Amino acid sequence: MISWNNLDTLTSFQELSKTKQVNLAEVMSGENGAERVKNYSVPMAAGLAYNYAAKKVDDEVLAALVKLAEEAQLADKFKALYNGEVINTGEKRLVLHHMTRGQLGDPVTADGVDKRTFYVEQQQKIADFANKVHAGEITNAAGEKFTTVVQIGIGGSDLGPRAMYLALENWAKKNGTFKMEAKFISNVDPDDAAAVLNSIDVAHSIFVLVSKSGTTLETLTNESFVKDALKNAGLDASKHMIAVTSETSPLAKSADYLAAFFMDDYIGGRFSSTSAVGGAVLSLAFGPEVFAQFLDGAAEEDKLSASEEVLKNPEMLDALIGVYERNVLGYPATTVLPYSQALSRFPAHLQQADMESNGKSVNRFGEPVNYPTGPVLFGEPGTNGQHSFYQLLHQGTDIVPLQFVGFKNSQIGTDVVIEDSTSQQKLCANVAAQIVAFACGKEDENRNKNFEGGRPSSIIIGDQLDPKALGALLAHFENKIMFQGFLWNVNSFDQEGVQLGKVLAKKVLAHETDGALKVYSDLLNI
């Protein structure tokens, strides 16, 4: 029997709060540090590893975290989720994004169909369509191949797929699987759509409209922008557009699209990269086989997340340490720092995935919680970030836990030796140095040059960023977010916080305003 209880009511959380705080600079110095780095590591899928040696944990803290995981029933709650219980209590929905990449538990039936079968069928439809586009069986009106795919969406329909495309673009070019360039239009700002349209040959472009409901204002506005551009070029828009939507939306059977691929209400936008939302654009860009490898990596990581052994479950352990940092150590933010330019938009995707999921102040039953929940999350690729906001991270008044991601090898394999080391070696040297610098610091009589250290971090290390590794990396963070939501007893799968602004914006456009809203509307010449 699963019980949903607030974090501060759990006996194990009270015990965790009483554990002695680890002196990170001390345990990470000398041979002690060397042993920690070797021992505080958990294997992940696709050859990745989660290393938490530079976190403020020891055997006592870890034992308390294991008790917390057991009392909070994290493994049981994940099992209930993937077996089809209604976990999204706010919208009274199942949560099934894991099923887009594999079957973890029992068959799940909803809307009268087996959901795993449904997702596989959509993936196969997308694969068949993409293969026909690549083979020149589906062409533009002149019988010419499409060379560019443009995704039109916002939020989860943009951030995740865009981040995944950029993560694999160079890898695909190097490995001969690059099929089509992808572009993305998301912002309702007309400059966004105009900039993309000015950078492509619309006659050889296929557009993917992504809207679950078929009513998303920003997306439909951008669709009209694109249709006007196609019309002005003398092109039939219906021969250049496909839709990713729900089976009940007005887009599902519209003659305005070459094809429609379906998603459902059981996959939130921010968790939709492994569904048709990511599948269409990534399969067109790189080929269905690459998308399948991406799914395989995510599926393998999901299996690890289902383990009841906390210290062998990378996602559960990462989540528990994060809650310890947020609710015991009192750290208000966290940062994701990929030392891989290919992951340049991955932190932006995680901002939505994490902050939209766990940025809640009431529990699953609508009752206020008396403790902090989701932290502020931000990040940029290293080494760029080192020359930007690392100053605050090293010497600022707030301690911000860090999540590094690093790979031993680059995606393209081309490098240059300067001063006896390659670019990739310089990149990896920087991430290793930063972990130790944050943890150990450096004493100096000049206070301006003094580094206190004690700033915790973890790192996910892999051999190379390829489709399977990317899938595993994505699943790691998705499942970490889920486990943290369970611990905070919030509903991580709705997002009411994005609704109020939409409602007021519609009032502004309808000129149904008064008070401050009217004045701001007038100032902006609406």
Q: Can you read off the two tokens belonging to residue 214?
A: 């078929």
Is residue 181 flagged as an active site residue?
no
Q: Can you tell me the distance from the alpha carbon of 39 to that of 146, in angstroms, rounded to the nearest whole number?
A: 51
Is residue 387 flagged as an active site residue?
yes
Catalytic residue among 218, 301, 356, 380: 356
428's CB contacts (< 8 A; 6+ apart) are: 339, 406, 408
Catalytic residue among 231, 408, 449, 502: 502
Sheet holding 205-210, edge to edge: 181-185, 148-152, 205-210, 241-246, 260-263
- Contact call for residues 391 and 444 (beta carbons, < 8 A): no
- Contact call for residues 282 and 165 (beta carbons, < 8 A): yes
What distances in angstroms separate CA 111 from CA 81, 100, 210, 264, 266, one per listed residue?
A: 17, 16, 21, 10, 11
List the beta bridge partners of residue 207.
Answer: 150, 241
Q: Can you read off the two tokens belonging to residue 30?
A: 């000398």
Catalytic residue among 387, 426, 449, 506: 387
Q: Can you read off the two tokens belonging to residue 82?
A: 């993937």
Q: Can you read off the two tokens belonging to residue 102?
A: 């594999």
End-to-end CA distance of the chain: 55
Q: Can you read off the two tokens belonging to residue 487?
A: 């611990």
Is residue 60 flagged as an active site residue?
no
| 152 phi and psi angles, rounded to 5 deg | -110, 110
List the beta bridge partners of residue 378.
Answer: 335
Per DSSP, the residues of 371-418 read S--SPEEE---TTGGGGTTHHHHHHSSS---EEEEEESS-SS----EE
**Could you count the other beta carbons within 10 Å of the beta carbon of residue 410?**
21
Residues labelled catalytic: 356, 387, 502
